[in-house]
Amino acid sequence: MVELALGITRLSEQGESIFDDPDDDVPSEVFLPLAKETTDPIPALRDVEPKIAAVAPDGKGLQDPSDDEGAGNTVVVLQDPEGLAPKAVVLSTMAYALATLFNGRRSAEEVAKLFNERYRQELKPTQALELQVELDKSLFLQSRRFEHTFKRQLHEYLELDIRPATHAGVAYPADPDALKQTIAGFFTAPDGPDEGADKPAEIPAPTAHTLLAAVAPHIDLRVGGATYAHAYKEILAHSEAEIFVIFGVAHQNPGDLLFNVSTKNFDTPLGLVTTEKEIALKLQGAAGGDPVLAELANRGEFSVEFQAVLLTAMMQERNRKFSIIPVLCGSVERFLADDTNPMDAKVFKNFCKTLRTELDKSGKKWCVLCSVDMSHVGPEFNHSTMVGERLLPAIRRGDMKILQPVELLDARAMFREVERTQNSRHVDGVLAMLAMLTVCDGLIHTGRLLHYDQMLKKNSHSAVSYAAMAFSA
């Protein structure tokens, strides 16, 4: 752990981070050499994911800070959402507070002065230089070291025909047998479709291809397994799809595209998932922008990967062959800011039309699978309100105002609700669900909410909600 001997600072009781700095300069995007002198600018801290944790009683590990028994000092764990840094970094809260002041413009002297004024400490500029060295070794700065590593990894990835299973062994088991057992457990878990049974109920092969679209979560498989199972039970029972279009979410969207399409096959612990490359190439053209950036958006993203893993497990067991079209959808925030509807955008209409045309031309049965979550609320998602049990019903009511028009296949009514709230709850599946309803327009006639759930993140006083839905002809 990187520490500064300056004491421990807590989060405020209002849930606002002491590290928030609304008046700070926009972070520099320039890759800088490390500062050698205290008057040189320090490279900026990268866009990382900070997580609050507590030192375990034995001092050798970390635990959830909500576990009161023997919890030690609060620390901040930095993770790389792009997957470029090989390991997470653990900082004391004061070291993290200092790191947030690294913006690519301030020198060690300027950082120390600002830090001391803000936190009433006596930090020396040389301590800021020492922290930059440690962060640079771990690839958490916009430094020359990171630039070289990033370019090398990018070139290596682009040359691959197969996208590696980047979350195997983390979000789900890498061992094939353990993975199968885990997925089977989703069905029999509390709230699962076969809750309490010794094993999942046998699902007969579909006698007709009536399910043309579905919504499943992309929340951590260890959390949302029961909700995934509700979606997949419907897919297995009512879909004969040979092609699954997976609309995921581009949590990291370097090109800011509406649609990021990959042409790579997807690796899983259970074998390779084939991508419909010819269709994917045409969709990359319809999406506009740089295909390299689209591939980069897919590199470490989990929302398509999770569905590829689950589809492989389900279809292998039934000796069914399938392929996928991996699409990561961008944000609707720009449309909310402009008071426009993404469904009226030329690139949206062209993409959806191209996808529908290519699917029909393929001569294969297909299904659109949205891999999305619903609300993201609380301090972890830049809200000042701290979320507890008492707020979960209100979050559910807000989600239902979006899911109900989706059930009714009314995409424009759904977006009007998103507009009304300015997507204040950060629903990340808006564009994916709009695209699904557009591509399937005229083919699906009924929509059903199968399951809804919420994850309360007590350690960060935040919550994420998610759902399973089915859409039939």
Sheet of strand 89-92: strand arrangement: 62-63, 49-55, 74-79, 89-92
Q: What is the per-residue pLDDT for 5?
A: 43
Q: Which domains occur in the chain, in start order?
A: 1-159 (no CATH), 167-472 (3.40.830.10)
The CA radius of gyration of the chain, in Å to the nearest whole number, is 23
**Please, which pLDDT band fits residue 1 given cuts at 50, 70 and 90?**
low
Q: Which tokens in the block code for residue 424?
A: 């204040």
- How do residues 302-316 score in pLDDT, each as one tens digit? 999 999 999 999 999
- Residue 275 sits at φ, ψ, to 5 deg, of -95, 140
| pLDDT of residue 332 exceeding 60 | yes
| pLDDT score, position 18 | 40
Which residues on neighbouring strands pair with residue 296, listed in sequence order? none
- Tokens matching residue 429: 């599946």
- Of 26-30, 217-221, 224-228, 438-442, the poorest mean pLDDT is in 26-30
Q: What is the pLDDT of residue 290?
A: 87
Please give the structure tokens belonging to residue 77. Answer: 């764990």
Backbone phi and psi for residue 348, each to the nearest 5 degrees, phi listed first: -65, -50
Name the nearest CA neighbour of 306 among 258, 254, 261, 268. Answer: 268
Find out whether 53 and 62 touch, Cβ atoms under 8 Å.
yes
Say if CB 234 and CB 357 are below 8 A apart.
no
Q: Which residues contact 291 (CB under 8 A, 6 or more apart)?
A: 261, 263, 284
Q: What is the pLDDT of residue 56?
A: 73
Residue 106 has pLDDT above 90, yes or no: yes
Return the higher-pLDDT residue of 74 and 145. 145
SS3 at position 313: helix
For residue 6, pLDDT over 60 is answered with no
Lowest-pLDDT choice from 128-142, 273-287, 288-302, 349-363: 288-302
Judging by beta carbons within 10 Å of its beta carbon (0-12, 13-18, 19+), is residue 55 exposed, middle or buried? buried
Q: What are the tens digits of pLDDT across the range 407-428?
A: 999 999 999 999 999 999 999 9
CA distance 425 to 173: 31
Q: Which residue has the higher pLDDT, 81 or 326?
A: 326
pLDDT exceeds 90 at position 65: no
Contact in structure between 231 and 216 (CB atoms under 8 Å): yes
- Name the nearest CA neighbour of 140 among 83, 62, 74: 83
Under 8 Å CB-to-CB from 240, ≥6 apart: which residues? 206, 208, 209, 365
- Output the average pLDDT for the chain: 90
Helix (H) or strand (E) holding 417: helix 411-421
Here the tokens at position 439 are: 């591509």
Query: Does the pLDDT of residue 366 top 50, yes or no?
Result: yes
Alpha-carbon distance 194 to 271, whole Å?
27
pTM of the predicted model as reported, rounded to 2 decimal places: 0.81
pLDDT in tens, 203-228: 999 999 999 999 999 999 999 999 99
List, for residues 129-158, the tens digit of each pLDDT value.
Answer: 999 999 999 999 999 999 998 888 888 889
Burial 3-39 (b: 16+ CB within 10 A, else e): ebebeebebeeebebbbeeeeeeebbeebbebbeebe
Which percentage of the chain shows pLDDT scores above 70? 90
Bigger pLDDT: 254 or 122? 122
Q: Can you give the pLDDT at residue 150?
A: 85
* Amino acid 293: pLDDT: 87
Place of tokens 């309803």: 437
The pLDDT, as a whole number, for residue 419 is 97
- Average pLDDT on 386-402 reads 97
Percent of residues, the chain, with pLDDT higher than 90: 76
Is the pLDDT assigned to residue 25 strictly greater than 70?
A: no
